[in-house]
Amino acid sequence: MFSLKGKTAIITGGGSGIGKAISVLFARQGAKVHIIELNEAAALETIHEIEQNQGLAYHHSCDVSKQTEVLNIFDQIGCADILVNNAGIAHIGKADTTSEEDFDRVFDVNVKGAYNMLFAAIPFLKKSKSPVILNMASIAAVVGITDRFAYSMSKGAIYAMTMSVARDYLTDGIRCNSISPARVHTPFVDGFISKNYAGQEDEVFDKLSKSQPVGRMGKPEEVAALALYLCAEESGFITGNDYPIDGGFIKLNN
């Protein structure tokens, strides 16, 4: 079950965290993985891990906010069966404390970057026998998260784009869904805590962990397992849906 043999998967932000876990798992399941990642060293680490398990993976250095760069990458790859829009950046701030520069930066990467990938990928996906798009949204798209104004905006846009694309390409056979994680323990989280809460790392980590009703953060591998299901042919009857993977955050946080 859940074989991706013979599939070409294009994954943005595959150098670390959730993107790395998805890249490694998809390669293990037989996909040829193309990682789009600005951090070359991180991407090469992911590729090394994949190749150690006899998988196939390639790195493409690309700023997803630049459409010309994205189009050039797809011309090089030449095909696509699966697109995973995972690349994104975070920001701390409210509406009146978020600078225009920071707002534009989050929008360019998280929203325009996903649009650029869709724009470039869809002509290739139309030629696939079982094309799939998976977007990484967030619980911030549907619930209020303190001090995450720009980030929440961007993830709300991802949710809306997912529904729009799922509707528009039904007759092309393209399935499109999204995943909305709560807090997932990645190197980004560790770096964020150490940067913003120096000397309080353990206390803040424990607080963030307990904000999920199950009492811990998610694991990148848990998100990757859900991504695999949604991109495999076993989920062929599923499109136009968002899947929270949140330790009960949305429904059980009273």
Annotated catalytic residue, options 58, 115, 151, 169: 151
d(CA 177, CA 240): 5
Residue 151 falls in the annotated catalytic set: yes
Q: Which residues contact 90 (CB under 8 A, 6 or more apart)?
A: 106, 148, 151, 188, 192
Residue type, 201: E
Residues noted as catalytic = 151
